[in-house]
A and B are shown apart, each in its own frame.
Chain A
């Protein structure tokens, strides 16, 4: 087996299963519990001339949101490796730092994408009736994959900076909430006050959500045209930074 693949397989075995389950709690709760009363409150609305129910609206948004959560969990893999000495141990084994770094990004992406796939499976019934086209689905998939790169890289950069588990987990939880609620996952950009919208438009999750919705439901917004290219550039930049941040972790401790 390829070296990166071996490291990814190991990650899948050692990862914190508890965290993994927790990442599904919010999306599945919103999907199967909260979306019913909320849909009763929120009448089907129209985005860009297309009518959409709230349930369908958030079902797609939550797939993108799960990609983020899952990928963020990836950073804990690096953190625990460092904490328990396996980071160094692996690096005195047959692995280069760059191999290790790449494997961590892939593992994080894999967790994010598998999570997204699972939520998509549950969310599918809610999208029944949407006219999905192949190019649309491909665009949505591309957005989710790019999102996985961005958030994986981001969590790895974060994990490489923190020394204490408490600080890392605290920041992680805060980010998770902030990124979820200051994004277009739960409400359309058009419906929020301009000040909040500006913040939402800084959040890469908004791009992933918007692009996924555009691809799957044909819901467009005035922003999707630049969100795609910006997401792609962000993915490239964050990927490079994540590789570099693992490379610069010092191995000089005794």
Chain B
């Protein structure tokens, strides 16, 4: 059984469509990244999947329950960090955590223990007595994310959880998520930080204009849309400039330069072809090649290429 199974979900507002076609499957225990430019429909999809709003069309099962008819069965098993803020204005950090645990009916002892761990993990220890209304934006976001770990969700929805978090807090959050995932949690995450998605997600889907335009492992996306790759050659002995100018005349190579440290960098759309061409040229030119490395494109580059292909801007 999948944690989430959506079939052609759509949501329209008046004449406009916020989401027009979202089908996806999220396996249990996986971290699923839901990527897309601003206004693509990520939040609207999350609001549908968390039962806040009813889809206009399409269906979905969440944790095996029908989304349209079984909201009350779904909600007790999910945790949700919405994109917008939510907080107990008049309470202190520790009181707010405790109240949230109480709402989830977590026994007092348990929620006190968990609160201690969370205050520590999310760097809120020194702010625990402060009123939530007096926290900085990032600290409030930390609390909002931390809070969701006080109950035992099977499936956690995170709508850009790390916006406004400093790098240390972001790392802590990632660590927390990974730890919970290793114990069976499923995560559905949106983020604009693609290095975050790349390291954390087992699978990602890209939504654009309300439709899913690509889905796969980060690796697959990079392979398909990574575009031009960089090949780096360390020349042990001989003139690296010779190699660079030879490579410039080769098919599928769009650029080649020699660095002052003797490294040659070659950009190609056909990494394996260029790889053999470099070896051949090295032999021809009598160069001794130290190493030839094909650099991985990153997910961010793949994402940008993919969106640009759709006619989106950047």
Contacts and interface: CB of A to CB of B under 8 A. Distances in A.
Interface of A: 1, 6-7, 9-10, 13-14, 16, 80, 83-86, 88-96, 251-254
B90 interface: yes
B76 interface: yes
A85 B52 CA distance: 13
Contacts of A89: 80, 82, 86
B52 A92 contact: yes
B99 A84 contact: no
B75 A94 contact: yes
B85 A84 contact: yes
A80 B102 contact: no
Given A16-B90, A80-B89, A85-B87, A93 B99 contact: no
B78 interface: yes
A92 B76 CA distance: 9
B90 A1 contact: no
A142 B102 CA distance: 32
Output the residue of B44, B103, B104 with the most chain A CB within 10 A.
B103
B88 A86 contact: yes
What 5 A-B pairs have minimum CB-CB distances, sorted nearest first? A85-B86, A89-B86, A94-B76, A92-B80, A254-B43
A114 B9 CA distance: 48
A114 B269 CA distance: 75
Nearest to A92: B80
Contacts of B53: 251-252
12 contacts: A6-B102, A7-B103, A13-B99, A14-B88, A85-B84, A85-B85, A85-B87, A88-B52, A89-B82, A89-B86, A93-B76, A252-B13
Output the residue of A83, A86, A96 with the most chain B CB within 10 A.
A86
Nearest to A252: B53
A96 B95 contact: no
Contacts of A1: 105
A92 B88 contact: no
B192 interface: no
B85 to A, nearest CB: 5
Contacts of B16: none
A80 B85 CA distance: 13
Nearest to B18: A254
A84 B90 CA distance: 10
Interface of B: 13, 43-44, 47, 50-53, 71-72, 75-76, 78, 80, 82-91, 95, 99, 102-105
Nearest to B72: A96
Nearest to B52: A251
Given A93-B75, A254-B44, A10 B102 contact: yes
A181 to B, nearest CB: 31
Given A7-B103, A86-B86, A254-B83, A14 B91 contact: yes
Nearest to A99: B72
B75 A14 contact: no
Contacts of B78: 92
Nearest to A17: B90
B52 A13 contact: no
Given A86-B87, A93-B75, A14 B52 contact: no
A7 B103 CA distance: 7
B20 to A, nearest CB: 16
A93 B50 CA distance: 9
A90 B99 CA distance: 12
Given A89-B86, A253-B84, 9 more contacts: A6-B102, A10-B99, A10-B102, A14-B91, A83-B89, A88-B52, A252-B13, A254-B43, A254-B44
A251 B47 contact: yes
Given A85-B85, A251-B53, A93 B91 contact: no
A155 B75 CA distance: 28
B13 A84 contact: no
Contacts of B13: 252
A80 B86 CA distance: 11
A251 B78 CA distance: 18
Given A92-B51, A92-B82, A94-B75, A14 B89 contact: yes
B75 A88 contact: no
Contacts of B95: 13
A9 B43 contact: no
Contacts of B88: 14, 84, 86
Nearest to A91: B52
Nearest to A3: B105
